[in-house]
Amino acid sequence: MKITALEAIPFDIRYSKPLKFASGEVHVAQHVLVRVHTDDGIVGVAEAPPRPFTYGETQVGIIAVIEQLFAPQLVGLTLLQRETVVTRLARTVGNPTAKAAVDMAIWDALGRTLGLPVHELLGGFTDRMRVSHMLGFDEPAVMVAEAERMRDSYGITTFKVKVGRRPCSLDTAVVRALRERFGDAIELYVDGNRGWTAAESLRAMKEMADLDLLFAEELCPADDVLGRRWLVSHLDVPFIADESVPTPADVTREVLGGSATAVSIKTARTGFTGSQRVHHLAEGLGLEVVLGNQIDGQLGTACAVSFGAAYQLTARRAGELSNFLDMSDDLLAEPLQIRDGVLHVPPGNGHGVEVDPDKLARYRVDR
Ligand code: MUC
Ligand code: MG
């Protein structure tokens, strides 16, 4: 079970439908495939999605930090020394998706070595999750049509609507159009990616007071400390902290400071080991939890559903597991399938998925 090598392989796959939101746009998935090799000949895999506008990471930077800083510190440890791995990775600040991918590739290698699925090793609560789809910025009619397509093709009935544009009416009109089109047959919540001020956020939430929203996520920046506390104290729905909580300590700060009342768990940024810590903290504090999406590809989504299905708290709500549908292609040998609004954990050991070597050869950009 000894780690012998780490690989970080860049690959680029275009989105057939780019995602636009208040803090950026994604047209090409410029991700990094991480592979962990062991002396038993096992290879564990995971995917790091750089989000420069969210965490300051880039594809080139992720490769550099894995090859130059992480690999030399991890080679020689065993797959069972995950706490030592986390401690060594924590010597480097930031770089959440690079750390998360290394952690999840190690869990995949462990599952493959033991002949067990990771979701069972983690918690084994269930083997599936309901799916929530994220709708990026567009005109109301286009976003309603997209929601119809997601419902008709995949049975999805929970939608996270990207908001944070000015004037706020651009976004409130979309949420109203969705509610008018679908009535109470869908669940709706909004994510501002820090686009509004606290005052704009409250005005928009009041405008949408009759639209039965489940949550509001990261509507204004967490650095507007008093403004955000004021906003959260005036809302009557849970306020989800997402990019403001890349670590468990950040969750503690935001929640105890009154700046959040719920948390988005993203395996793309806290891996499995860190996500366990965030999950347990949220459970102890009595917080609502949503399994979030870092605009993951299918490998990242397989990791997310493995974690989300492992615990009652994460499996209770629909998880954001469908943005890979907007990509023109992917790396997996067997594509993930969403049916009747549900994604099952892929059957098999580790994450239960295999990277197709031909697809990797086609999309890798280091050769
Ligand atoms: C989300 O929930 O915010 C968009 C930006 C990011 O960092 O993650 C995505 C989705
Ligand atoms: Mg978010």
Pocket test for ligand 1, best of 242, 320, 326 (most atoms within 8 A of CB): 242
User: Is 0.85 surpassed by the pTM of this model?
Assistant: yes
Task: Say how far residue 63 (Cα) sits from the centre of its chain.
Answer: 20
Has 160 been annotated as catalytic?
A: no
Report how far residue 258's alpha carbon sits from residue 229's, in angstroms, rounded to the nearest whole number: 5
Residues 130/314, Cβ–Cβ less than 8 Å? no
236-253, pLDDT tens digit by residue? Answer: 999 999 999 999 999 999
Return the axis-axis angle of helices 198-207 and 225-234, rounded to nearest 10°: 20
Report how far residue 213's alpha carbon sits from residue 15's, in angstroms, rounded to the nearest whole number: 29
Let me know how many helices (H) and strands (E) the chain has, helices first.
Answer: 16, 13
pLDDT at 307: 99
Task: Read off the tokens for 28.
Answer: 């090409």
Q: Over 90: is that where the pLDDT of 367 sits?
A: no
166-213, pLDDT tens digit by residue? Answer: 999 999 999 999 999 999 999 999 999 999 999 999 999 999 999 999
- Alpha carbon nearest to ligand 1 atom 6, residue: 294
Q: How far apart are the first and last CA of the chain?
A: 30
Annotated catalytic residue, options 47, 108, 127, 191: 191
Task: For residue 7, give the H/E element and its range.
Answer: strand 3-21
Residues 315/325, Cβ–Cβ less than 8 Å? no
pLDDT at 210: 98
Separation of CA 293 and ligand 1 centre (Å): 7
Q: Over 90: is that where the pLDDT of 109 sits?
A: yes
Residues 295/26, Cβ–Cβ less than 8 Å? yes
Dihedral class, residue 38 (left if φ above 0, else alpha if ψ from -120 to 50, else beta): beta
Q: How confident is the model at residue 32 (pLDDT cuts 50, 70, 90)?
A: very high
pLDDT at 70: 98
Residues 186/157, Cβ–Cβ less than 8 Å? yes
Handedness of CA 250, 255, 259, 262 (dihedral sign): positive
Q: What is the mean pLDDT of the chain?
A: 98
Q: Taking residues 90-111, what's their average pLDDT?
A: 98
Q: Is 190 in the pocket of ligand 1 (CB under 6 A)?
A: no
pLDDT at 217: 99
DSSP state of 91: T
- Alpha carbon nearest to ligand 1 atom 4, residue: 294
Separation of CA 41 and ligand 1 centre (Å): 36
Separation of CA 317 and ligand 2 centre (Å): 16
Task: Read off the tokens for 136.
Answer: 């990026």
